[in-house]
Amino acid sequence: MSSFVDERKCMVTRYKRAGYIHSRNVEEAILAVPREHFMDPKYTEYAYHDQPFPIPGDGRQTISAPYMYPVTYEPLKLQKGQRFLEIGTGSGYGAAIARELVGSGGLVVTVEINPETYQFARENLKKAGYDDVEVILGDGTLGYPELAPYDAVSITASTPDIPPPIYQQMASHSRLIAPVGNPGRYGQDLLLYERFGAESSKRKLMSVVYVPLIGKYGFPG
């Protein structure tokens, strides 16, 4: 156990030096979440290695390399008490970090389309003490209107565009991050969208390679 804690601290120090982590909020959130609880048991010992690993599902699902989480959460600027929507629960690790960022007064909703991955994430979140995260089995491209609006949204799989239902569920002043583009070896653009009432902006953060988002407004299953 202590070795995992030490590895987590070393990882955070490494990411601060590399510029992935630059806010105290994100640093504390990542330090708080035991990534080892979100790994497939076959790969637990590699929890803090800088690479993705397979998780239960249809063969495409992974837990992303750990540096991708500060890359996602730093631009979203999640604050205590905010409402957050994640599309693509995966292992549940990202939802746990978000839960740390929004605090007990906030809300984290995460939607997963694959039943096996959904169950894996639910068990991981409960084991790690995050059983107040709302984990939904369903088509993430439809969002989750029952608990909208959301101050921030993260889409964790490549999407051809921002699904209209998700945009409609964003608060009037909100942020969304998503890998946009076709799946494949040429990758996608990780884009940050900011909504200001009736106006919005977007900018590219980096090039990435993500698995495809499956659903009505995503790619075929």
pLDDT in tens, 92-104: 999 999 999 999 9
Strands (E), 56-96: 62-63, 83-87
Give the C-alpha separation, 168 to 200, whole Å.
Answer: 13
For the chain, the farthest-separated pair of C-alpha atoms sits apart, in whole angstroms, at 50
Is 2 assigned a catalytic role? no
What is the per-residue pLDDT for 2? 64
Q: Output the pLDDT for position 169.
A: 98
pLDDT score of 183? 80
Per-residue confidence (pLDDT) for residue 38, from 0 to 100: 99
Kindly name the residue from 64, 91, 158, 174 that is annotated as catalytic: 64
Measured over the CA atoms of residue 76, residue 78, residue 83 and residue 85, the dihedral's sign is: positive
Residue 219's beta-bridge partner residues?
A: 214
Written out in words, the top-level CATH class of the domain with range 2-208 is: alpha beta
Helix, strand, coil percentages in the chain from 3-state DSSP, rounded to 5? 35, 25, 35
- Please tell me the predicted confidence (pLDDT) of residue 186: 76
168-180 pLDDT, tens digit per residue, is 999 999 999 999 9
Is residue 182 very low, low, confident or very high in pLDDT (cuts 50, 70, 90)? confident
**What span, in angstroms and rounded, lies between the C-alpha atoms of 143 and 86?**
9
Mean pLDDT, rounded, for 114-128: 98
Distances (CA, A) of 44 to 1, 39, 41: 12, 5, 5
- Residue pair 212/183 in contact (Cβ under 8 Å)? The answer is yes
